[in-house]
Structure 1
Amino acid sequence: MTENADLALAALRARGVAEPVDFAVLLGFGLSGWSESLADAVTVDYSDLPGFAPVDEPGLIGRLSVGRLEGANICLLQGQAHFYGAGDPTCMMTPLQTARLLGAKYLLILAGAGSVKPDLYPGNLMLVADHIALFGLNPLIGLPSDESIFPLHDAYDPRLQRRLKRAAAAAGVPLQEGVFMWVSGPTFSTPAEGRMARQLGADAIGFGVAPETILARCLGLRVAAVAAATHFAAGLQASEPSLAEGQSHTLAAVVPLRRLLRAFVKTADTL
């Protein structure tokens, strides 16, 4: 099951990646291109790593970078494939396996989402406390039961969540907390779907986070996730949500997300 990840690891070793990483960061929609923040970075295109699916974001080349940030050695997964593009909910398994083989014990997911909460405005950040897989699909379906059956009561690690809250306070970054609903995409939700999501207890909806969290937990990674609200779901605003609007509000969230990441990384030695 790790054959492609083993080959990807060998490719990274051949490019000079030797030191183990402290943790991995998965950058979702609109959040790529952060490798310039890393010192002594080694960056490899996904296309040069076996088993890495191409990313779905138009015009984006997925890249894996390993380097140092605030004294910690981290693995940046810049861009990701989604179920709606790959047709496979396990499409991020090999990148996560590779991060695990590099030594990561923790995964921080940074993603975009549509808000179904009236006071979660576009550009705001939300710490993911839990998730709902709306359509019941699980990326572990088909795996042996001894690998795939485990509890998810702590899918989003409480200790990592506390550290993210402290990091947000230290960096002066407002951080709400809520429930993320995974939907298949690629279309935006209908007004009725947005209302249903809210009635079921969701605060934000999006095309990822949940499957990557499930895969990561299967691999033994502890997970935390932060979603940047990129738009209001249909029915919560007068205008229709659009890809351009999502990209605009994601850009507005980049600065606070980077500040939050730096503050969080400073605590890596105490995780």
Structure 2
Amino acid sequence: MNALSTIQARAGQLQPRIAVVLGSGWGGLTEHITDAIQIPYSELEGFPQPTVAGHSAMLWLGKIGNQAVAVMSGRKHGYETGAVDGMALPLQVLQALGCHTLVQTNAAGSLRLDMPPQSLMLVSDHINLPQRSPLVGLTGNQRFVNMVDAYDPELKQHAALIAKGQGATLFEGVYAWLLGPQFETPAEIRLVQGLGADAVGMSTVPETILARYLGLRVLALSFITNYGAGLSTEQLSHAHTLEQAQEGSAKASRLLADIIAALP
């Protein structure tokens, strides 16, 4: 049985319309899923087996508010194998399942001193610094994807209004993708700042490209876990990232759940 058939068999009458990819700091969203059905990636042919601490390997089906959702707890990163199309099949499956919107989350480093760790940032646009694409090798005109408004303006406005209504601070900025897995040097951070980025991370951009190729609307949020190298005296490490993410997970996940529940 392929992944789509497996999910459909387990979902029963549930018809997910919102797909979510959870990054570090956002795992608490699963606590807001009602009537939850959990399917390990190991049971879904072609789904990734994450090798990164802080990423589980579980697909959650259920509802957040009245929204039927399919939530991927764990993603494939380009730095794990060098390939940047590791999320292609899962997103194709979720689209075939009926999802029309992809909500992305990640942990990121801030390039702005006014956006400290524990902040939340709405992604307004991105910079694909490695210039790697998950669409390489595909054929046909559909691969020439228009990336203007890749992050849907209506969905961004919706998220900002929900945050404002709660009195929550939600920054907005440009996310720069670097392949990793090493953290950036101070010189690289200065370079990316000069290019107009507000935050930096190692995910999200390939999935956004894939989602737009598939015709999905995209909303993305970053959890700020640290300042970029050279902007503070903190010692960067994955353990530090996870510690910061865990500390702010409840706040981030609560806001995310409210945003999803009220999606237009």
Q: TM-score, normalised by structure 2?
A: 0.95
> Is the 2:54–2:242 contact (alpha carbons within 8 Å) kept by the matching residues of 1?
no
* Distance of 1:84 and 1:130 partners within structure 2: 22
Match of 1:264 in 2: 259
Which amino acid in structure 2 is aligned with residue 191 of structure 1? P
1:232 aligns with 2:232: no
User: Could you give the per-residue CA deviations for residues 190-221 of structure 1, whole angstroms, max 9, x where no partner exists?
Assistant: 00001111011001110111111000111110
Alignment partner, residue 76 of structure 1: 71
Of residues 98, 103, 116, the one that matches 1:121 is 116
User: Any idea what the Cα deviations from partners look like across 1:41-91, whole Å, max 9, x if unmatched?
Assistant: 111111110111111322643110110111111111111110000321110
Q: Does 1:143 align with 2:138?
A: yes
Q: Match of 2:36?
A: 41
Do structure 1's residue 153 and structure 2's residue 148 form an aligned pair?
Answer: yes
Shift in Å, 1:156: 0.3
> Which residue identity is paired with 1:128?
V
What SS is found at the alignment partner of 1:15? helix
The answer on whether the counterparts of 2:211 and 2:218 sit within 8 Å (CA) in structure 1 is: yes
Are 1:22 and 2:17 an aligned pair?
Answer: yes
* CA–CA separation in structure 1 for the residues paired with 2:104 and 2:63: 18
Alpha-carbon distance, 1:33 to partner = 5.6
Deviations 1:12-50 (A, max 9, x none): 123244321121111012433643321111111111101
Q: Is the 8 A contact 2:127 2:174 kept in 1?
A: yes
Greater RCO structure (CA 8 Å; 6+ sep): 2
The match for 2:203 is 208
Q: Deviations over 1:114-144 (max 9, x none)?
A: 1111111111011000000111111111111
1:31 matches 2:26: yes
SS of residue in 2 equivalent to 1:234: coil
User: In 2, Cα distance between the equivalents of 1:60 and 1:177?
Assistant: 25
- Identity, in percent, stands at 37
* Contact 1:31 1:79 (C-alpha < 8 Å) held by counterparts: no
Matched letter for residue 180 of structure 2? G
**Cα RMSD, aligned residues only:** 1.5
Say if 1:173 and 1:64 are closer, same or farther in 2 by CA, change over 3 A. Answer: same
Which of 44, 47, 66 is matched with 1:52 structurally? 47
State the distance in 1 between where 2:28 and 2:161 align: 26
User: How many aligned residue pairs are there?
Assistant: 264
CA contact (8 A) 1:106 1:222 kept: yes
Give the 4+ runs in structure 1 shifted more than 6 A.
none
| Corresponding position of 1:3 | none
Residue 60 of structure 2 aligns to a residue in which SS? strand
User: What corresponds to 2:216 in structure 1?
Assistant: 221
Unaligned runs of 5+ in 1: 1-5
TM-score, normalized by length of structure 1?
0.93
> 2:246 maps to which residue?
251
Q: Aligned AA for 1:227?
A: S
Judged with a 3 Å threshold, the aligned counterparts in structure 2 of structure 1 residues 82 and 92 are, in CA distance, closer, same or farther, namely same
Counterpart of 1:192 (choices 187, 191, 199) is 187
Aligned residue identity for 2:136: I
**Alignment match of 2:7 (pick from 9, 12, 26):** 12
Contact kept, 8 Å, 1:170 with 1:263, in 2: the verdict is no
Question: 1:141-176 deviations in whole A, cap 9, x for unaligned?
Answer: 111141210211110000000000011112332100
Q: Distance in 2 between matches of 1:14 and 1:168?
A: 36
